[in-house]
Structure 1
């Protein structure tokens, strides 16, 4: 018989409803009866004790809010009777120790990846086109049309076939769909556009340069074609300096074209097509070879979270993170606004005190910038989050942080910094799904795990994004988006540990190219840099 409520941590004074509860229902829990006072939807929280006004509300073992008035035992927690609150952090308070999980069954496992000369291993082999400035977006789009039409030759979508049949006044079934083909076997060609590179503060252009350099250095990229206008803030030399700072010994083809030095658009595009095709053809010779799991660099992301995310999908990612760290691999936890309230635990887990100080400094600077803009971290939960039970930022954060598992924090990175240490890394990004995922890949992630309880169709141009749903209903409703689901944890059919082992197996299949992520099948290639400054 499925449980009706669950307490995540033994010290919690609230419980999560696993099913819809009716007012007047009596639930036997931990040796006492709880009278449900209000209709409570699954994923929402009910009080396990009476809260006086201002009382501390504890979930995941941490402070997630305070009572905004009296809350009776058995009543549902809402945005009206609870307000965001988190504990203050004053630096490292205790010594941290970690017992790594047993990874004997994984130590000899490999994935089939693309080996780069600098020792990194890619899970994809991508030739990347991108501009240094938004003025070149149109030329990128033109190149995309040229290359996709001739190289990819994608079959029409169902909607294109429908429109074609309507135009020709034919039955849809009478219109034949051409098969998709790809001129090359081992290389994908992808295109990035963005609104940056000029018009803002110089620091934004420098940050964008680091991000784009990180994409070029990412092991999933075989080489790149870069377009510059010539007069923009993000000058070619700034991009080259960023690339050299990340990898002084980079040995990848990077073709750079500057429009203001090349004459007409037609002349420039002709040169780009000729030179890029030659380089892409050469990059197609790279083939997959076995690589140890220590070469996996997995980004940890969540979006469209629900009240189950913190007890099924996110802890599953945390267990996978711990397995990878034990195997000398890398996990990257981002979304700093969604670490609000769990800073103390993360600071205590930092191997080096300097990283703990850096983490707090980045958090404080980020929060100050949000307050200066007239908002605050407490405004982070979206309407969808709130509707599905995540009513304070601290509550959302406590569940989101579960993606990072329990291992030591080896390094703390600001946005645009590239990974240099294996193990668990913290990366400063916003909570915005695409801005965060964009940053994870720019810092070196060759796979991203993305948990969701509501369904988010996010992808990335160079890295597989694996969507992990917190519940079975979502996976059944949106099978074209969800890759892996953890609903069996909610039903009590599987442990977090068992689910993590299954997910790690799935990651290996994705990383080896045996399975395509749903985002790749949908050709979802989202790229949004985090712009921290203002326009000038």
Structure 2
């Protein structure tokens, strides 16, 4: 019987009674001491599985692909290990061969003992001969862009309609005259007024980060006039009028220009003047040390921490060896796995800053009537993830193994190289907005359930965790890390090298799948902090 026939019969439960299959044929065991393995394919009740120690295990009920199979009996209240770490506690006795999920596993309370820097190691940079380059745009301030957009940036939601009207006046026929420009994007949002000082400060960091972003060749600020987020204040607080790039930022105010119609006409005139200037650039060879890679995962499943995230982690390690930067975010999806990052913290100060952010999230969730385990989402659970601890341990694999060099507030400008953390929510559009506003010029996005995410002005590369989803959503997925599970399997190192090559190609101008479908403008979503009055 060949492997294909065997896998088919396993799913149907049609193997001869008592005939065992080896665990590695039907499931993935991540570490020798783990209590669970992850089913490679649906496992039928009654299947006999031979464990690495030679013991036989009988599957007690159907276990879906990506879900957890108990390898031994686990008493009620005892911790359950995956990745060699606790992913939760048994809420009832779990028999060997059982399906482990929400019906018998919950978060419980972790009693972590944190150690700072115990696994810290020096980065071994590549030799001069190994240094890689991409074809990018060198900006006057020295930073490097992977795209060249012209941005219309709203200071308040009240300016959104005017921005969309200005955009509509520049169709494909006009933009074809400017081949070095990737498009005119309208960064509109639902904020900008009736907000407290914390909310305004956060929004201003986001808007200023987009205005000064290396993927933006020029920008125009558009406001209403009476909003809390005043244009002159934004310019002065965020120092948009300082530096080589901009001396007098361009702006429009609907109330000063007698309403939408006149504002739109003036905006069209200003953009028309900017187009030749923004087009007057050419791509050139730039070291990939100038890449700042935003790390995202959305629609995660049980395979995220087995395939796509570890492969992306290998890509991150190689990028950092080249002198580049990677930004791990989604702080609620670090919760329960922070001990792994703290062991790689460059200093105790960096580690304590991460812990301070996690304690803030505990309080923030509590005062809003939520719990940290409200994440994972229903889709995550359908894909096999049970608790936030399990999701987090898989999510941080995107960050590779390099030292953690810094922790940043939301949309704060990233100045450190190497692996850094930016504090963001787990919600992808809000998280990505903060990362890009902080300076990320390209993004890698892993997904198991299938996220169609794009983001302008930074291109998003989507990496599927499993082959069935990749094949069903091929128009949206750039790469398939599911090949790590197929046939002889690709190693995480091989898949990581493939991701790195795609990052370099997309940074050099290759369109990602989301860009090819013109997706990525509506995903701009600044974090709304504080009360709206």
TM-score, normalised to structure 1, is 0.91
Cα distance in 1 between the residues matched to 2:469 and 2:124? 30
Cα distance in 2 between the residues matched to 1:242 and 1:26? 66
> What is the CA-CA distance between 1:262 and the residue it aligns to?
2.3
> What is the CA-CA distance between 1:266 and the residue it aligns to?
2.7
Which position in structure 2 is the counterpart of 1:30?
Answer: 52
**Unaligned residue ranges in structure 1 (runs of 5+):** 153-181
Q: Structure 1 residues 212 and 203 mapped into 2: Cα distance closer, same or farther (>3 Å)? A: same
Q: Structure 1 residues 52 and 511 mapped into 2: Cα distance closer, same or farther (>3 Å)? A: same
| Alignment pair present for 1:112 and 2:112 | no
Which position in structure 1 is the counterpart of 2:35?
Answer: 13
> What is the CA-CA distance between 1:10 and the residue it aligns to?
2.8
2:179 to 176, 179, 185: 185
Which position in structure 1 is the counterpart of 2:526?
Answer: 529
What pairs up with 1:404-483 in 2 under 5 angstroms? 404-483=399-478
Q: Secondary structure of the equivalent of 1:504?
A: helix
Q: Is the 8 A contact 1:325 1:424 kept in 2?
A: yes
| Alignment pair present for 1:268 and 2:263 | yes
Cα distance in 2 between the residues matched to 1:106 and 1:439? 35
Which position in structure 1 is the counterpart of 2:68?
Answer: 45
Cα distance in 1 between the residues matched to 2:25 and 2:492? 16
What pairs up with 1:260-409 in 2 under 5 angstroms? 260-409=255-404
| Alignment pair present for 1:3 and 2:30 | no
| Alignment pair present for 1:221 and 2:243 | no
> What is the CA-CA distance between 1:19 and the residue it aligns to?
1.2
> What is the CA-CA distance between 1:231 and the residue it aligns to?
1.2
Q: Which moved more, 1:8-17 or 1:116-125?
A: 8-17
Describe the superposition over 1:459-505 as per-residue Cα deviations: whole angstroms up to 9, x where unpaired: 11201000000011111111111011111111242100011111111
Q: Is the 8 A contact 2:137 2:281 kept in 1?
A: yes
Cα distance in 2 between the residues matched to 1:107 and 1:425? 24
| Alignment pair present for 1:136 and 2:159 | yes
Cα distance in 2 between the residues matched to 1:243 and 1:535? 23
| Alignment pair present for 1:70 and 2:93 | yes
Cα distance in 1 between the residues matched to 2:133 and 2:117? 37
Describe the superposition over 1:80-134 as per-residue Cα deviations: whole angstroms up to 9, x where unpaired: 1000146344553453332657845983321000001222101000111121000
Q: Is the 8 A contact 1:89 1:343 kept in 2?
A: no
Cα distance in 2 between the residues matched to 1:119 and 1:534? 39
**Unaligned residue ranges in structure 2 (runs of 5+):** 4-23
Cα distance in 1 between the residues matched to 2:277 and 2:89? 61
Q: Structure 1 residues 242 and 294 mapped into 2: Cα distance closer, same or farther (>3 Å)? A: farther
Q: Secondary structure of the equivalent of 2:207?
A: helix
Q: Secondary structure of the equivalent of 1:241?
A: helix
| Alignment pair present for 1:80 and 2:103 | yes
Q: Structure 1 residues 105 and 385 mapped into 2: Cα distance closer, same or farther (>3 Å)? A: farther
Cα distance in 2 between the residues matched to 1:330 and 1:107? 17
Q: Structure 1 residues 94 and 443 mapped into 2: Cα distance closer, same or farther (>3 Å)? A: closer
Cα distance in 2 between the residues matched to 1:59 and 1:124? 40
Q: What's the RMSD between the two structures over aligned residues? A: 1.8
Which position in structure 2 is the counterpart of 1:254?
Answer: 249
Q: Is the 8 A contact 1:244 1:250 kept in 2?
A: no
Aligned residues: 505
Describe the superposition over 1:13-58 as per-residue Cα deviations: whole angstroms up to 9, x where unpaired: 1111111101110111212211111100110001111111101011
Cα distance in 2 between the residues matched to 1:265 and 1:144? 13
Which position in structure 1 is the counterpart of 2:503?
Answer: 507
Q: Secondary structure of the equivalent of 1:254?
A: coil
Cα distance in 1 between the residues matched to 2:454 and 2:225? 30
Cα distance in 1 between the residues matched to 2:173 and 2:484? 46
> What is the CA-CA distance between 1:150 and the residue it aligns to?
5.2
> What is the CA-CA distance between 1:146 and the residue it aligns to?
1.2
Q: Secondary structure of the equivalent of 2:419?
A: strand
TM-score, normalised to structure 2, is 0.91
Q: Secondary structure of the equivalent of 2:304?
A: coil
Q: Is the 8 A contact 1:16 1:45 kept in 2?
A: yes
| Alignment pair present for 1:493 and 2:489 | yes
Cα distance in 2 between the residues matched to 1:334 and 1:361? 15
Cα distance in 1 between the residues matched to 2:67 and 2:213? 40
Q: Structure 1 residues 24 and 250 mapped into 2: Cα distance closer, same or farther (>3 Å)? A: farther
Cα distance in 2 between the residues matched to 1:267 and 1:532? 33
Cα distance in 1 between the residues matched to 2:120 and 2:273? 53
Cα distance in 1 between the residues matched to 2:382 and 2:110? 25
Q: Is the 8 A contact 1:213 1:242 kept in 2?
A: no
Q: Is the 8 A contact 2:409 2:423 kept in 1?
A: yes
Q: Is the 8 A contact 1:217 1:243 kept in 2?
A: no
Q: Structure 1 residues 469 and 250 mapped into 2: Cα distance closer, same or farther (>3 Å)? A: farther
Cα distance in 2 between the residues matched to 1:102 and 1:60? 28
> What is the CA-CA distance between 1:357 and the residue it aligns to?
1.3
